[in-house]
Amino acid sequence: NAGVMQNPRHLVRRRGQEARLRCSPMKGHSHVYWYRQLPEEGLKFMVYLQKENIIDESGMPKERFSAEFPKEGPSILRIQQVVRGDSAAYFCASSSQGVGNQPQHFGDGTRLSIL
Amino acid sequence: TQLLEQSPQFLSIQEGENLTVYCNSSSVFSSLQWYRQEPGEGPVLLVTVVTGGEVKKLKRLTFQFGDARKDSSLHITAAQPGDTGLYLCAGANGGYQKVTFGIGTKLQVIP
């Protein structure tokens, strides 16, 4: 998983604060996906981005959550005014193409804890 | 909404035993992927199957994609403690490759 870099690995926030999660895709990959994993649950798709574009955000909560993947720099998942229910592991994956059967490569995730 | 059901959810076996885990759906997928995830880490891709009836082998692991591309199985021969982990299946449909994950099978292999 060294190819996809996520930071921080662990993030603690108090209710009402903002959380910023970063993801640097594998070299040469321009497609990024964010997932959320809760204990005893599977990975839930949140958003799919390509450089500077949001392709599919159907899994994103309507409020407080946003994502971007700028031309330069990592992809950012931003959670505003965090609540206890936001506590989860957030994973980023990247792929070289968005079509066909190209595999996704995952990072090791950011574990977000809300106090 | 496409759902993937995995069974069993939990499996604890002795080293050396064989096991099979299943991934089932009522939907057709263009491809299906199997991942293994260890605690504190991200999922690692094991295999992708794309053709109905396809069988792929990875050392002691055998993956099969159902003829109708709605289900898949993972068979492990002579399980080792190093096989312990969470096994996830994920179905994808063409287009931009949004994938749907099953809840996973948590496998424990006891030495």
What is the per-residue pLDDT across A11-54, written as a single tens digit (0 to 9) for each? 999 999 999 999 999 998 989 999 999 877 789 999 999 988 99
Q: Which residues pair with A57 in a beta bridge?
A: none
Q: Label residue B19 exposed, middle or buried (CB < 10 Å: 0-12, 13-18, 19+).
A: middle
Task: Assess contact for B30 and B16: CB atoms under 8 A.
Answer: no
Q: Select from B42, B45, B102 the Cβ nearest to the Cβ of A103.
A: B45
B1-6 average pLDDT score? 80
Query: How far, in Å, CA of B9 to CA of B31, rounded?
Result: 22
**Do the Cβ atoms of B103 and A101 come within 8 Å?**
no
Q: What percent of chain B has pLDDT over 90?
A: 76
Place B41 in a pLDDT band, splitting at 50, 70 and 90: very high
Structure tokens at B82: 């190093």
Q: Label residue B39 exposed, middle or buried (CB < 10 Å: 0-12, 13-18, 19+).
A: exposed
Q: Is A106 on the interface with B (CB under 8 A)?
A: yes
Task: Assess contact for B73 and B20: CB atoms under 8 A.
Answer: yes
Q: Is A55 on the interface with B (CB under 8 A)?
A: yes
The predicted-structure confidence for A49-72, as pLDDT tens digits, reads as follows: 998 899 889 899 999 999 999 999
Query: How far, in Å, CA of B51 to CA of A105, rounded?
Result: 21
The predicted-structure confidence for B47-73, as pLDDT tens digits, reads as follows: 999 899 999 999 999 999 999 999 999
A70 preceded by a cis bond (ω within 30 of 0): no
Query: How far, in Å, CA of A60 to CA of B24, rounded?
Result: 26
Query: How far, in Å, CA of A40 to CA of B10, rounded?
Result: 11
Structure confidence at residue A1 (pLDDT): 46
Q: What percent of chain B has pLDDT over 70?
A: 95
B62 CB-side CA count, 13 A: 9
Query: How far, in Å, CA of A86 to CA of A103, rounded?
Result: 28
**Do the Cβ atoms of B41 and A109 come within 8 Å?**
yes
Structure tokens at A41: 């649950």
Number of C-beta neighbours around residue A99 at 10 A:
11
Which residue type does A45 have? F
pLDDT value at B93 more than 90: no
Number of C-beta neighbours around residue A1 at 10 A:
17
Place B100 in a pLDDT band, splitting at 50, 70 and 90: confident
Place B95 in a pLDDT band, splitting at 50, 70 and 90: low
Choosing among B23, B44, B97, which should be mutated to test the A contact, i.e. which has the most A CBs within 10 A? B97
Q: Tell me A85's DSSP state.
A: G
